[in-house]
């Protein structure tokens, strides 16, 4: 149905999205001018025009007033799923639109099974550019697409281990602040330097004065102490953010390879946190075949950060490298995606990933309580379980997201203002127990049976269970009778208590 057949229809079912100025020219085309945002567009209320259907197809025939612009058509779908309201942006094809002639840009969206439409709005969006071109519309058409179908591949068949395995994310920015090759550790030390934040610094940090803190040279002995802490608490593996081989943030995973704990506390990778060159890929593949690399039914476990924006080709290159290195089975990929949205979870069921999980869980306001944060995280996990017939689930236990150190002393790689206050030991124990209980209630024979904790050492980002310094009211470390710094293991003990309770119940 062409909605540009009359001025009356334009007025009734379309509007200027993003403060766009909509005018009709003498030849019947529509001009979208005064565009202030990439999504400034002529939008059409598809569901009001066509009624409610299982899907919709919309196309715009466009040209620019001057120059060129890459344009995509979107459907914004607002819907109810199991009584809760969600919004999903379904992107169509992306095309280059110029002033030389007309270009048709199409999109097709499918409505999630079991959902109830609130509204469906179609519009176009330009890639972010300095200049937002005037856009002329020759045709805008939309129609029901009741037969839009998505075919999902079958889940990978696995035989998971008898007992669940528990992993912890490692983000290793705690190398010597004297090292000048990278300034990441210096920025982290600066963020944790105010006296008020010394009690969340890792146990090996050095307080060198009032509002001053740094990190000494990273040693194998220091790593082995961390590994012992983690193993004795009940962790089965560290999940390393996998940086380039020569990057200083790779120090801990290299020490893991040499650790006396490596076969008791295994390791795996979190990829897509940084670029992957050929040398780093080759080392990852070689590590995957080792006994100390954690596996799901002999599939090397690989977590994928920001999974929605990683191509199948990238994953194929890792699979190919692993097989070439001698991996017994191809990797088991867990797509990390923290969004609380059933459409996005369904999007992850397209065959790229064997399971869905998350790296962390975002706060929704400045100063959200930890209880509110963990309850919303648990709701997200329960939503993921709704799709467990199509994809595995790796639930996330979050230790928090109190990144006020980075707000007070900004770092170069992150910004934002929404944080959650740090939880008490009792709250962390309760959350971990809830996640483990829900996992037991939702496990199937084909689930990976692993849980991931955010995080071992995201100290300045606000999610940690690695032991920290014990300090007085002035931020100065306290010592035992032998002159050793006292360590606070409250987060770790809270998790260890929950792990032990769970394992005792299922044994």
Instruction: Please report, for the domain that includes residue 249, its CATH number.
Output: 3.20.20.80
Q: Are 332 and 448 in contact (CB under 8 A)?
A: yes
Has residue 298 been placed in a domain? yes
Domain identity same for 43 and 112:
yes
447 plus 307 within the same structural domain:
yes
pLDDT at position 7 is 55
Contact 351, 308 (CB under 8 A): no
| Any domain includes 228 | no
Number of independent structural domains in the chain: 2
Same domain, yes or no: 92 and 169: no
Question: Which structural domain, as residue segments, surrounds residue 15?
Answer: 7-144
Does residue 412 form part of some domain?
yes
Handedness of CA 283, 289, 293, 299 (dihedral sign): positive
Please tell me whether residue 142 adopts helix, strand or coil conformation. strand
Per residue in 266-324, pLDDT tens?
999 999 999 999 999 999 999 999 999 999 999 999 999 999 999 999 999 999 999 99
From residue 250, give the alpha-carbon distance in Å to each of 173, 231, 277, 330, 412.
9, 21, 14, 24, 19
pLDDT value, residue 27: 85
Helices assigned H by DSSP within 326-424 = 342-347, 370-385, 404-408
pTM for this predicted structure: 0.93
DSSP 196: G
> What pLDDT sits at residue 507?
62
Distance CA(276)–CA(163), nearest Å, equals 33
Is 170 found in the same domain as 132? no
Q: How confident is the model at residue 414 (pLDDT cuts 50, 70, 90)?
A: confident
Say yes or no: 170 and 138 in one domain: no
Within this chain, do residues 319 and 398 fall inside the same structural domain, yes or no? yes
Contact by Cβ (8 Å): 28, 4: yes
Q: At what angle do helices 425-442 and 490-506 cross, to 10 degrees?
A: 30
Is pLDDT of 199 > 70? yes
Question: Residue 213: is it exposed, middle or buried by C-beta count within 10 angstroms (0-12/13-18/19+)?
Answer: buried
Asked if 170 and 139 sit in the same domain, the reply is: no
Look up the CATH number of the domain holding residue 127: 2.60.120.260
**pLDDT at residue 351 in the model:** 92
133 and 169 co-located in one domain: no
Which of these, 419, 461, 468, 487, lies nearest to 173 by C-alpha position?
461
Asked if residue 475 belongs to a domain, the reply is no
313 and 379 assigned to the same domain = yes
At 1, is the pLDDT very low, low, confident or very high (cuts 50, 70, 90)?
low
Collapse the DSSP code of 255 into the 3-class scheme (helix H, G, I; strand E, B; otherwise coil) and give the result: helix
Long-range contacts of 90-97 (CB under 8 A, 24+ apart): 90/343, 92/58, 94/70, 94/127, 95/70, 95/71, 96/68, 96/69, 96/70, 96/71, 97/62, 97/63, 97/64, 97/68, 97/69, 97/70, 97/71, 97/135
Reduced to 3 states (helix: H, G, I; strand: E, B; else coil), residue 244 is: coil
Residue 277, domain member (yes or no): yes
Residue 153 domain flag: no
pLDDT averaged over every residue in the chain = 94
Domain assignment of residue 218, yes or no: no
DSSP state of 364: S
Is the domain of 17 the same as that of 131?
Answer: yes
Residues 281, 140 share a domain: no
Question: pLDDT, tens digit, for every residue of 443-469?
Answer: 888 899 999 999 999 999 999 999 999
Query: Is residue 197, in this structure, part of any structural domain at all?
Result: no
Same domain, 108 and 170: no
Is the model's pLDDT at 393 over the cut of 60?
yes
């Amino acid at each position: 149905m062409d909605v540009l057949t009359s001025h009356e229809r334009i007025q009734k079912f379309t509007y200027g999205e993003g403060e766009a100025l909509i005018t009709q020219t003498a030849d019947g085309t529509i001009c979208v001018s005064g565009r202030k945002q990439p999504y400034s567009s002529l939008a059409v209320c598809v569901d009001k025009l066509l009624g409610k259907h299982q899907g919709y197809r919309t196309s715009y025939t466009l040209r620019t007033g001057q120059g060129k612009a890459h344009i995509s058509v979107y459907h914004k779908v607002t819907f109810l799923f199991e009584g809760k309201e969600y919004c999903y942006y379904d992107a169509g094809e992306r095309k280059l639109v110029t002033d030389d002639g007309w270009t048709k840009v199409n999109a097709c969206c499918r409505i999630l099974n079991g959902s109830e439409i609130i509204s469906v709005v179609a519009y176009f969006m330009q890639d972010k550019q300095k200049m937002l071109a005037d856009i002329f519309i020759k045709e805008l058409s939309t129609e029901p697409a009741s037969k839009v179908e998505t075919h999902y591949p079958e889940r990978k068949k696995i035989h998971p281990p008898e007992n669940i395995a528990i992993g912890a994310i490692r983000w290793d920015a705690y190398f010597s602040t004297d090292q000048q090759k990278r300034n990441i550790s210096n920025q982290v030390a600066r963020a944790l330097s105010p006296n008020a934040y010394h009690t969340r610094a890792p146990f090996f940090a050095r307080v060198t004065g009032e509002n001053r803190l740094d990190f000494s040279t990273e040693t194998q002995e220091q790593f082995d102490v961390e590994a012992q802490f983690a193993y004795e608490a009940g962790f089965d593996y560290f999940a390393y953010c996998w940086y380039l081989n020569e990057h200083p943030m790779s120090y801990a995973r290299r020490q893991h390879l040499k650790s006396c704990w490596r076969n008791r506390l295994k390791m795996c990778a979190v990829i897509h946190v940084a670029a992957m060159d050929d040398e780093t890929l080759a080392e990852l593949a070689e590590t995957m075949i080792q006994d100390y690399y954690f596996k799901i039914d002999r599939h090397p476990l690989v977590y994928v950060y920001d999974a929605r924006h990683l191509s199948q080709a990238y994953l194929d290159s890792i699979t190919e490298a692993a097989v070439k290195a001698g991996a017994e089975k191809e990797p088991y990929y867990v797509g990390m995606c923290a969004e609380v949205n059933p459409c996005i979870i369904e999007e992850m069921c397209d065959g790229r990933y064997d399971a869905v999980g998350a790296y962390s869980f975002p706060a929704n306001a400045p100063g959200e309580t930890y209880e509110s944060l963990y309850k919303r995280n648990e709701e997200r996990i329960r939503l993921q379980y709704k799709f467990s017939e199509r994809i595995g689930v790796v639930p996330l236990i979050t230790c928090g997201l109190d990144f006020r150190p980075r707000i007070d002393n900004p770092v170069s790689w992150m910004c934002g203002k929404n944080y959650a206050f740090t939880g008490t030991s009792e709250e962390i124990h309760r959350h971990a127990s809830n996640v483990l209980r829900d996992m037991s209630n939702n496990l199937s024979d084909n689930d990976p049976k692993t849980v991931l904790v955010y995080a071992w050492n995201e100290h300045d980002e606000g999610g940690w269970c690695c032991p920290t310094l014990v300090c007085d009211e002035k931020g100065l470390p306290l010592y035992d009778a032998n002159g050793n710094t006292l360590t606070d293991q409250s987060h770790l003990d809270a998790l260890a208590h929950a792990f032990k309770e769970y394992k005792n119940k299922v044994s």
